[in-house]
């Protein structure tokens, strides 16, 4: 059975105290903490197997290459991809989306086309398309959301005109925790001959995700939000689409051959096979090892168990936040529609003030726009405080959080 108290024993940082307070880490949507299994796997790699990959025949290089390719296989299995050829390692969700923008969008979008982006997207799924639209002349259009932060599916149907070439949608909002029906979005988009790019940064770490079931064309997510190290992320793409895309970065490892014609004074370049053609230069091999360890850890816990645990914590927290009369909670009131994220504000306090006050209790949350300013403007709030849960959080921590909020209200 899933036991968060047992899980906590694997996370050294949770034993830390600040100003006498045992830390409560409720900023998991920004980044997660790392279990000793991940830390030890990376330590072992650097102490025993460190070498470059795909570049030598000596023992260390062969071992490093095996570990690096195993990481692709582990990711493919974890998200239900057909093969490791559909898994590209990048620095994180942001780089994955930019890869799609410049490897696919730059060569396929033109004046008169449209990219449809939901209003709840993280800036990393907005800014690249706005930048590229200035270069290529296509339009970026925004799909509005309902007042509770949920997606407006009827409006989506209306906006899916023949001009739309790509739909960008987050699987789980990093502000409200809303879980979007990606299957429905993909079905509607494909009926319109449009592709679908899914931001999975907040879904892959927290709920079971199967890309074939979702039928998305691209899925981007980050290792550091799912117990892995920073600096490594994943772009999944359907093989038939990736095969037609040109590389985003040029350099070593992503080519099959570079030959020079002395008479023409030109180089002839042919690309490497998938996924290596999109992984130029020396990759984050240690990060891949850490990501493998993180996936194995999550698989041991069971993603259904992870999802259920976070749902119970979210439901429990939303119930007890009602005991705080000066607290306003945003997003759906039904915890079943959310994924371990609760945005809120305290009357007469800026969100940063709330975060600083909670920090004095050892409770660590996020405050501000959460890199999603358009959604805050839609909800008509200047900023918000945000608690977000993961596998090591407990009801006792929520109780301390609620008591701290009550004390803050008392001071006000």
Average pLDDT over residues 272-300: 96
Burial of residue 148, with CB atoms counted within 10 A of its CB: 0-12 exposed, 13-18 middle, 19 or more buried: middle
How high is the pLDDT of residue 248? 86
Q: Cα separation of 302 and 229, whole Å?
A: 20
Q: Cα separation of 276 and 65, whole Å?
A: 12
| Residue 321 pLDDT level (bands cut at 50, 70, 90) | very high
How high is the pLDDT of residue 266? 83
Phi, psi (deg, nearest 5) at residue 17: -115, 145
How high is the pLDDT of residue 299? 98
Distances (CA, A) of 357 to 23, 28, 247, 384, 396: 14, 19, 47, 14, 19
Let me know if 216 is a catalytic residue.
Answer: no
Helix, strand, coil in percent for the chain, rounding step 5: 40, 20, 40
Q: Cα separation of 216 and 227, whole Å?
A: 24
How high is the pLDDT of residue 164? 98
How high is the pLDDT of residue 269? 82
Q: Would you call 382 helix, strand, or coil by DSSP?
A: coil
CA dihedral (336, 337, 339, 340) positive or negative:
negative
Q: What is the token pair recorded at 222?
A: 């980050």
How high is the pLDDT of residue 375? 94
- Which of left, alpha, beta for 237 (phi over 0: left; psi -120 to 50: alpha)? beta
- Locate the DSSP E strands across 56-163: 87-90, 114-118, 139-143
Statement: residue 343 has pLDDT above 90:
yes
Q: Cα separation of 239 and 275, whole Å?
A: 9
Q: Cα separation of 6 and 234, whole Å?
A: 29
Q: Would you call 259 helix, strand, or coil by DSSP?
A: strand
Statement: residue 1 has pLDDT above 80:
no
Going along the chain from its start, the domains and CATH numbers come out as 4-26+302-407 (3.90.1150.10), 39-299 (3.40.640.10)
Rounded to the nearest integer, the mean pLDDT of the chain is: 96
Chain centroid to Cα 357, Å, comes to 28
Mutual angle of helices 285-301 and 59-79, in 10-degree steps: 40
Average pLDDT over residues 399-407: 98
pLDDT tens sequence across 228-264: 999 999 999 999 999 999 998 988 888 888 888 777 7
pLDDT tens sequence across 126-153: 999 999 999 999 999 999 999 999 999 9
Average pLDDT over residues 117-121: 98
H/E stretch holding 303: helix 303-321
């Amino acid at each position: 059975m899933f036991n968060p108290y047992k899980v906590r024993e694997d996370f050294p940082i949770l034993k830390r105290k600040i100003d006498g307070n045992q830390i409560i880490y409720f900023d998991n949507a920004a980044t997660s903490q790392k279990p000793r299994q991940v830390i030890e796997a990376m330590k072992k790699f650097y102490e025993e197997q460190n070498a470059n990959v795909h570049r030598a025949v000596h023992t260390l290089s062969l071992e490093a290459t095996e570990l690096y390719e195993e990481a692709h296989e582990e990711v493919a299995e974890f998200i239900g991809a057909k093969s490791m050829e559909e898994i590209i390692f990048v620095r994180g969700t942001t780089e994955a989306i930019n890869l799609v923008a410049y490897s696919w969008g730059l060569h396929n979008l033109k004046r008169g086309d449209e990219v449809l982006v939901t209003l709840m997207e993280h800036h990393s799924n907005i800014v690249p398309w706005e930048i590229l639209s200035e270069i290529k002349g296509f339009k970026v259009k925004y799909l509005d959301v309902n007042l509770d932060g949920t997606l407006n599916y009827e409006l989506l149907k209306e906006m899916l005109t023949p001009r739309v070439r790509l739909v960008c949608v987050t699987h789980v909002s990093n502000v409200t925790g809303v879980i979007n029906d990606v299957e429905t979005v993909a079905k509607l988009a494909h009926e319109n001959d449009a592709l679908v790019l899914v931001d999975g940064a907040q879904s892959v770490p927290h709920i079971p995700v199967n890309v074939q079931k979702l039928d998305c064309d691209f899925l981007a997510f980050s290792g550091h939000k799912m117990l892995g190290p920073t600096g490594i992320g994943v772009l999944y793409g359907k093989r038939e689409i990736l095969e037609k895309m040109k590389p985003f970065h040029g350099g070593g490892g992503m080519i099959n051959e570079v030959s020079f014609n002395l008479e023409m004074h030109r180089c002839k370049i042919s690309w490497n096979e998938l996924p290596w053609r999109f992984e130029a230069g020396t990759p984050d091999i240690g990060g891949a090892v850490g990501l493998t360890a993180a996936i194995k850890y999550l698989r041991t816990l069971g993603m259904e168990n992870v999802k259920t645990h976070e749902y119970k914590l979210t439901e429990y927290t939303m119930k007890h936040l009602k005991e705080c009369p000066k607290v306003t909670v945003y997003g759906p009131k039904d915890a079943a529609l959310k994924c371990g994220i609760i945005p809120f504000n305290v009357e007469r306090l800026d969100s940063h003030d709330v975060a600083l006050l909670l920090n004095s209790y050892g409770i660590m949350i996020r405050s501000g726009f959460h890199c999603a300013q358009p959604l805050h403007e839609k909800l008509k709030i200047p900023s918000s405080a945000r608690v977000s849960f993961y596998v090591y959080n407990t009801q006792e921590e929520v109780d301390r959080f609620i008591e701290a909020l009550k004390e803050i209200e008392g001071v006000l």
